[in-house]
Amino acid sequence: MISIDLSGKTILITGAMGAIAEHMVVRLAAAGAKLVLLDLKPAREAASKLEEWKVPAESYVYYSLDVTDSATLTRVVDTAFDRCPMMDTVLGHAGGCGLHPFASTTEAEFERIFRFNFFAQTYLARAVFAQWIARKIPGHLIFTSSYVARVPHTLIPSYASAKAALENFARCMALEYVSSGIRVNVISPGNVAAGSSLKVFEEDPAYREFVLRVSLGKRNSPESIAGAFVFLCSPLASEINGQILSADYGSGIGNRL
Ligand SMILES: NC(=O)c1ccc[n+]([C@@H]2O[C@H](COP(=O)([O-])OP(=O)(O)OC[C@H]3O[C@@H](n4cnc5c(N)ncnc54)[C@H](O)[C@@H]3O)[C@@H](O)[C@H]2O)c1
């Protein structure tokens, strides 16, 4: 029997209070990891959610912040490393959007969505790499992408382009930092029956029809995405670097004629 034991490990997660993150937080904590949780939600609201999720208070620390504010993000990452100096795994998970067709989306809104889904991840990478290099930690940074990075999608052009940029950025970073022992990987879910996409899926028939067609009628569960994270955070995955791990039933293969 293989069981995954993450005790002794500290893992930072951005967007930690979201719908997929709920399952990641619960499973990573159950595997014994200590968690550093970052999210826009106020600390009190987060604490009551985490209690609802039955995550023991001693297994996490929480910081409320906006990940698109690079100065604050860097300060919080530095504080988290002061508190947890051996932290070697970071999940750049915050992201998402509503529907935003190009024609009816303002330039400012288009850029806001791109900044949240791409540039904020580069701010995180910069802050974390600086700590790992200074502390000589062979850390592991894992970004959350989406199958839409590779399958052109209707109605979400800024988000899909940001995720495509993110996947390429991850592979560039995997190459640039390989000599420091730092690894960079990506988990790329298909359409998940949870979170921001759930409302859109339920309310927009065109989006629903598109999703079911490209994903062969299957949507992913947040539990299966969490499972992929537990695996990639574990010693079983210790030699995986620069990869896009698609947990998507094959939606990201594309070529649906
Ligand atoms: N839900 C899906 O179908 C799906 C599919 C593929 C990929 N993904 C990706 O998975 C990740 C999580 O998606 P989800 O649907 O669970 O998200 P969600 O909308 O349920 O949660 C997002 C979380 O991010 C937080 N957040 C929002 N703006 C923030 C900011 N500026 N700074 C810090 N935190 C902020 C929110 O408070 C929330 O807790 C995202 O990267 C998303 O792109 C989701």
pLDDT tens digits for 208-236?
888 888 877 889 999 999 999 999 999 99
Residues near ligand 1 with C-beta < 6 Å? 15, 17-21, 39-41, 66-68, 93-96, 116, 144, 146, 189, 191-192, 194-197
Mean of pLDDT values over 113-131: 98
Per-residue confidence (pLDDT) for residue 255, from 0 to 100: 64
Q: How confident is the model at residue 53 (pLDDT cuts 50, 70, 90)?
A: very high
Ligand 1 centroid to 185 CA: how many Å? 18
Q: Whose CA is nearest to atom 3 of ligand 1?
A: 192
Residue of 13, 20, 117 to mutate, ligand 1, most atoms within 8 A of C-beta: 20
Q: How far is 122 from 54, CA to CA, in rounded Å?
A: 32
Per-residue confidence (pLDDT) for residue 252, from 0 to 100: 86
User: Is pLDDT at 38 greater than 70 in this prediction?
Assistant: yes
Three-state DSSP class for residue 241: coil
User: Is pLDDT at 96 greater than 80 in this prediction?
Assistant: yes
User: Is pLDDT at 257 greater than 70 in this prediction?
Assistant: no
Mean of pLDDT values over 146-153: 90
Mean of pLDDT values over 145-162: 92
Per-residue confidence (pLDDT) for residue 9, from 0 to 100: 97
Residue type, 115: R
Ligand 1 centroid to 136 CA: how many Å? 31
Please give the angle made by the CA atoms of 37, 6 and 219, to the nearest 5 degrees.
65
Residue 116, token pair as written in the block: 């949240």
Three-state DSSP class for residue 63: strand
Name the residue with higher pLDDT: 253 or 241.
Answer: 241
- 195 close to 20: Cβ distance less than 8 angstroms: yes
Residue 223, token pair as written in the block: 């539990």
Helices (H), 136-219: 157-176, 196-203, 205-214
CB-based contacts of 29, cutoff 8 Å, min separation 6: 35, 55, 56, 59, 60
Per-residue confidence (pLDDT) for residue 127, from 0 to 100: 99
User: Is pLDDT at 170 greater than 80 in this prediction?
Assistant: yes
Ligand 1 centroid to 56 CA: how many Å? 23
User: Is pLDDT at 17 greater than 90 in this prediction?
Assistant: yes
Domains in the chain with CATH codes? 10-243 (3.40.50.720)
Strand partners, 10: 34
> In 10 A of CB 251, how many CB atoms?
26
pTM of the model: 0.97
- 118 close to 125: Cβ distance less than 8 angstroms: no
Q: How far is 43 from 49, CA to CA, in rounded Å?
A: 10
